[in-house]
Structure 1
Amino acid sequence: MVRPRRGPRLPSGVRRALTFWRRSTQARVVVSTLVLSAIVISAVGWYLLRETRDGLLDSRVDTVLAEAANETTEAEGRLETESGRETDAQAQLRTLADSIITRAETRGYSVAVAGPVDDDRPIAERTATYSAGLDLAASVPAELQDRLATIGAAPAWTYTSVVTTADGTVQRTPAIVVGSQVRLPADNRIYVIYLIYPLVEEQETLDLVGRALLTAAVLLLVLVAGITWLVTRQVVAPVRLARQVAERLAAGRLQERLRVKGEDDVARLAISFNQMASNLQRQIRQLEELSRVQRRFVSDVSHELRTPLTTVRMAGDVLHDARGTFDPGTARAAELLQTELDRFEVLLADLLEISRFDAGAAVLDLEDVNLGDVVRRVVDSTRALAEQRGVSIAVEDAGRPCLAEADARRVERIVRNLVTNAIDHAAVGGREPGIVVRLAVDDDASAVAVRDYGVGLEPGESAMVFNRFWRADPARARTSGGTGLGLSIALEDTHLHGGWLQAWGRPGSGAQFRLTLPRRAGFALRRSPLPLQPEDAVDPAAETVRR
């Protein structure tokens, strides 16, 4: 059998964290509250930052545009006064730029005068004068240059990044650049004045607001976490205490009760819980007393019946041995008496065994058992009964020993009950073989599955089939002469080994009983080497589709 591949094993710290997360309601509530609070605070903080930024930028844009308009107006006035006096365009351009740059240095912005606009060369190669350290080509966006490249274009502005070079270090600062056209009298051509206003103060204000919001958000999350932890603790602590008391009650400590404090809903819950625990304790004690009386009755009756049964058995043996001298009616009565005495002895033995299970007196005599040998012994001993019924039995071996640390006598009794039960319910004259016994083994468990192709089980009967004296069809005759306790005893024997005994069945498709035992006593089973539903079972949905 191919074992399923296991995924990568998580580190122990991660496993402990996941376990804590699954089991702690308080942790889940605190984390969920923190996550939701973080989302809300982030949304509010983003909205506040956006509104603050828009307000600062709108105010700065209005100031910059007004100042740039005044600067352009003053430049145009100076050029008009110099009209006709200067014929050197380069000198006149430099004089204009120097006067603007001088004022700009005292006010904290940068200036560039470039042109003429009808020159197709890049701005850095055209006649240009600008503030020291300014990278004009990188600081003035190409879109703005193209917009002001047309003679008569209106003043325009845009956001940009001022690129300056100082001591070999390149710095980028967010800024607003405003461009306006002026006509130079010396050559009567159009030039562009670029005024670049850095947004350093606005950026510092936004950074300050952002740090304040972040600090406030962290403090608020810490406060929310603390408040949520305290509030949930007030609710979870009583629930946790109730869980602990409930676990102790489930462990048999029926005297445990919750401590009642106050008169609130939690206190009323504690009162109701204590009342429920008291009622359960009273009911459990009544049931225990009734169960003890029943077990004592079954045990006493079983033991008391042994002596008269022995006497009746001796008389029955005498009558059975002398039946040849009787008339046919009397001889038949002697045979029936012998048969019913045999069945009564088996029933009495089963009742005594059940009483030992009920009293907790059943113990295991452990040894290494090969389930294959047990199955073959049981099949050989029941083959005559199967042939009488007209049913054949086949054994599918696992290919290697199916070893388990178990009580050989009890395991053989389990397998015998399963095989005889299959003989009772197998289909007569149907497919061959009528019963299939499969064996399988893996590293942890050994399994035996007994498959028959008889009437099967109705939905829900797979759990009821192990009840004492339960029969799917009360009118059906028992071929093996069973008492109705075989599967119940088999289930108790299986539980005593720490194993599984499970049933599967479907009307018209037969049934399968699977016994799974751990290879080592005390090992907790996780899976079985054999599937509970046989591979040859017909799927009703698929059968309907085929029809």
Structure 2
Amino acid sequence: MKQRSPGLVLDADAARPLESGDAAASRLQRAGSAVQKGYLVAQRKARSLVRGVHSRWRRSLQLRVVTSTLLFSVLVTAVLGFFLVHQVQTGLLDAKTQSAFNDHYAGLSTARNIIQDSDQQDPDRQLDQIIEDLSARSGSTGLYDVVIMPSVGGMTGRVSGGVDEASVPERLREDVRKNGELPYGNYTEIIRGTQREPGLAVGAQLSSTYELYYLFPLDHEQQMLNLVQQTLVLVAIALTLLLAAVAYVVTRQVVTPVRQAASSAEKLSSGDLSERMKVRGEDDLARLAMSFNDMAGSLQEKIQELEELSKLQRQFVSDVSHELRTPLTTIRMAGDLLYDDRDDLDPTMRRSVELLQSQLERFEELLADLLEISRHDAGAATLATGTVDIRDSVLKAVGEAEQIAEKRGIKVVLRLPVDPCVAEFDARRINRILRNLVVNAIEHSEGKDVIVTAAGDRDAVAVAVRDFGVGLKEGEEHLCFDRFWRADPARARTTGGTGLGLSISKEDALLHGGWLQAWGMPGKGSQFRLSLPRKSGGELRGSPLPLAPPEITLGRTLSAFSSMQGDFDRKGIWISGPGEDQ
């Protein structure tokens, strides 16, 4: 029978501790991950709390005032309390020192009289008598303890009240030995077995061989000082809270009307012209409320006047536009007859008839735009939505502008997606928007190509029309949608459309819940982007196409990347490009 090799047994046995060590390491790793996760959660909560407090601090005037009052109150009460405690402590110790010196002087005189009256007695009996008489004078409350210590070695002293001779500080004994005629005092600790208490030691030379010391406990003064400190702390807390409450009440009286004024101003700015502030009393805040109400009343009157004037204006434009259609139709019929027979007229009359025909077409376009604007102003514009492919609308708009592009020698480049981009919209209005954008791009392209791009995502479809003409100056990307606005006022009025095309297009886009936005840069051209939601009435949150052209966005990104790489290079860091070794 084969026996197992000892080496195999040794390896198997050694594997068990290794497996248990891996398990322990895994448990330690899981515990460390849990601790780290808990730390991150606590850190996020702390940051959220700090942000909340900081936001509350910045937004609440009342909180800042009350907090500042509270801090200043704490500071003032702390400073005053410190000086008050110091004065009380100094007064108590001065009074105690004066009383201690008086008591010691009286006891010293008594002890010297005892020594003089009993010169022939035993020195030990003299010391006992002195201790007995002086201790009796301290009273039942133990006002002081008496210590008699020898000035030379080989002699014993006396103590009363069980105090230790070590309670007398060595520095005081040196002062007494140098000049024993005068009493000296020093603060010390009175030792009674294992107990220690603060005290005052006063001493003087009793005779050539002995020194007399009085030990005065300071526990009473310490208790009084503790009582004063506790009282001051309680008074300071109560005073601080009272001042904070007073500051809260006072600031609330001021802040509440201000908040009401801010709320009224917000309602007024949102269109609620009937909002007014309540007037209470006759103080400054009441005058503020009255002034605010007067201002709101004046604004309401002016806005109502402007609204009435605007209504009259819109009504006038609508009425005039409708009234002009009848004579325009008659003029149009006469103009068409003349235009059909223009070949039979002399060249001068033929040219006049052609100009009449072109201006009649321009007049009809202006009249149609005025009628459309009046419908938007009156809120009478409606949508006839249907499911349409945005690519078909783009092709139709480009086809209608093809003749204008051929006359100017401009090529319109289409970048349409392969897959359908279907959305719900009013095809007539969207075709008009796209035709206006394409025609405007052709007229301002300065002979360069025009690029029309369409795209779609899950929620929206978009069309961008790009030209490479003079572009737009800063701020003109909003002005270009104003009525009768022209980028170059010096251009002839016969160039371009009626000046209402982009305004009508903006209104049509908003009617769909979409966006019509412009981007431009002097010398780089301009780009107009139309974005529409897929579903009619849906909320538009983004656009499938960028507002700025891709080459502009890419250029900014590369410029920013080059700047970052330059910074890294200056710091000695190399950024490798594609395919390079890291």
* TM more than 0.5: yes
The match for 1:419 among 412, 419, 438 is 438
**Deviation at residue 348 of structure 1 after TM alignment:** 2.1
Alignment counterpart, residue 530 of structure 1, candidates 535, 538, 546: 546
> Compared with structure 1, are the counterparts of its residues 240 and 150 closer, same or farther at alpha carbon in structure 2 (3 Å cutoff)?
same
**2:393 corresponds to 1:342:** no
User: 1:409: which partner in 2?
Assistant: 428
Quote the residue 2:501 is aligned against. Answer: 486
The offset of 1:262, in angstroms, is 6.8
Q: Does the Cα contact within 8 Å between 1:319 and 1:334 map onto a contact in 2? A: yes
Q: What is the match of residue 48 of structure 1?
A: 80
Summarize the Cα distance change of 1:261–1:452 in structure 2 as closer, same or farther, 3 Å threshold.
same
Which residue of structure 2 lines up, in the alignment, with residue 169 of structure 1? Answer: none
Equivalent in the alignment of 1:470 = 485
- Please point out which of 59, 65, 72 is paired with 1:33: 65
Distance in 2 separating the partners of 1:440 and 1:111: 106
- Return the offset for 1:214: 0.6
CA contact (8 A) 1:500 1:516 kept: yes
How far residue 441 of structure 1 moved from its aligned partner, in angstroms, is 5.5
Match of 2:244 in 1: 221
Partner of 1:295: 314
- Select the residue among 239, 261, 281 that pairs with 1:239: 261
CA distance in 1, matches of 2:434, 2:173: 100
Report how far residue 300 of structure 1 moved: 2.9
Query: Cα 1:295–1:64, aligned 2, differ >3 Å: closer, same or farther?
Result: same
Does the 8 Å CA contact 2:513/2:538 hold for their aligned counterparts?
yes
**What is the root-mean-square deviation in Å for CA atoms of aligned residues?**
6.2
Counterpart residue identity of residue 46, structure 1: A
* 1:503 counterpart SS class: strand
Contact 1:108 1:197 survives alignment (8 Å): no
Contact 2:464 2:545 in 1 (8 A): no
Gaps of 5+ in 2: 1-43, 116-121, 124-130, 148-158, 561-582
C-alpha distance after superposition, 1:132-162 (max 9, x if no partner): 9x9x9xxx9xxxx9999999999997899x9
Code of the residue aligned with 1:303 in structure 2: it is H
Contact kept in structure 2, 1:38 and 1:221, CA below 8 Å: yes
Please say if 1:512 is aligned against 2:531. Answer: no
Output aligned runs, 1:340-489, within 5 Å. 340-367=359-386, 371=390, 374-375=393-394, 377-379=396-398, 381-394=400-413, 406-429=425-448, 433-435=449-451, 437=453, 439=455, 447-476=462-491, 481-489=496-504
Q: CA deviation at 1:519?
A: 5.4
Give the whole-Å Cα distance in 1 for the aligned partners of 2:57 and 2:229. Answer: 41
Distance of 2:199 and 2:514 partners within structure 1: 84
What CA deviation, in whole Å up to 9, does each residue of 1:6-41 have, x standing for no partner?
x99x99xx999979985xxxx63x333312321221
Q: CA deviation at 1:509?
A: 3.3
Higher helix share: 2
- Aligned mates of 2:420, 2:204 — CA distance in 1: 104
Which residue is equivalent to 2:90?
A: 58
The 2-side partners of 1:69 and 1:265 are apart by 66
Deviation sequence 1:224-277 (CA, Å, 0-9, x none): 3223323554x44873685488469x3465xx7777777666666666556555
Secondary structure of 1:535's counterpart equals: helix
When structure 1 is superposed on structure 2, of 53-62 and 207-216 the one drifting more is 53-62
The separation in 1 between residues aligned to 2:393 and 2:539, in whole angstroms, is: 21
* Cα distance in 1 for residues equivalent to 2:199 and 2:277: 75
Please, which of 225, 228, 234 is the counterpart of residue 211 of structure 1?
Answer: 234
2:433 alignment partner, SS class: helix
Q: For the Cα contact (< 8 Å) 2:185–2:203, is it kept in 1?
A: no
Alignment of 1:20-169 (within 5 A): 22=59, 28=61, 30-62=62-94
Question: Which deviations, in whole Å up to 9, do the C-alpha atoms of 1:62-119 show, x marking residues without a partner?
Answer: 46767898999999x99xx9xxx99xxxxxxxxx9xx99xx9996599999xxxxxxx
Residue 443 of structure 2 aligns with an amino acid whose one-letter code is D
Corresponding position: 1:305 with 2:305: no
Q: Output the amino acid matched with 1:466.
A: F
How many pairs align?
489
Counterpart amino acid of residue 553 in structure 2: E
Corresponding residue for residue 575 of structure 2: none
- Give identity over the alignment, percent: 40
Identify if the C-alpha distance between structure 1 residues 230 and 501 changes in structure 2 by more than 3 Å, giving closer, same or farther. Answer: same
For the residues of structure 1 that align with 2:199 and 2:341, how far apart are their CA atoms? 130
* Distance change in 2, residues 1:268/1:196 (3 Å): closer
TM-score scaled by length of structure 2: 0.60
Q: 1:417 to 1:181 in 2, by over 3 A?
A: farther
Measured in 1, the distance between the counterparts of 2:433 and 2:492 equals 21
Distance 1:153 1:498 in 2: 105
Structure 1 pair 64–526 and aligned structure 2 pair: CA distance change class (3 A)? farther
Cα pair 2:413 2:452 within 8 Å, conserved: yes
Between the aligned partners of 2:139 and 2:405, the Cα distance in structure 1 is 113
Give the 3 Å change call, closer, same or farther, for CA 519–275 of structure 1 in structure 2.
same
What TM-score comes out, normalization by structure 1 length?
0.63
Asked if the contact 1:52/1:206 (under 8 Å) is kept, the reply is no
**Does the 8 Å CA contact 1:499/1:525 hold for their aligned counterparts?**
no
Letter in 2 for 1:523: E
Distance in 1 between residues matched to 2:490 and 2:239, nearest whole Å: 81
Residue pair 1:111, 1:194 contacting (<8 A) in 2 also:
yes
Conserved 8 A contact 1:393-1:437:
no
How far apart are the structure 2 equivalents of 1:239 and 1:208?
A: 45
Partner of 1:202: 225
Matched-pair contact (CA < 8 Å) for 2:443–2:496: no
Shift of 1:426: 1.6
Q: Distance in 1 between matches of 2:390 and 2:366?
A: 26
The amino acid that maps onto 1:346 is: E
1:347-396 Cα deviation digits (max 9, x unpaired)? 22211111111211012334566656544553454355335434444456
Cα distance in 2, alignment partners of residues 314 and 240 from structure 1? 62
Structure scoring higher RCO (CA < 8 A, sep ≥ 6) equals 1
The 3 A distance-change label for structure 1 pair 153 and 419 is farther
CA distance in 2, matches of 1:179, 1:395: 108
CA separation in 2, counterparts of 1:441 and 1:149? 100
Q: Which has the greater radius of gyration?
A: 2
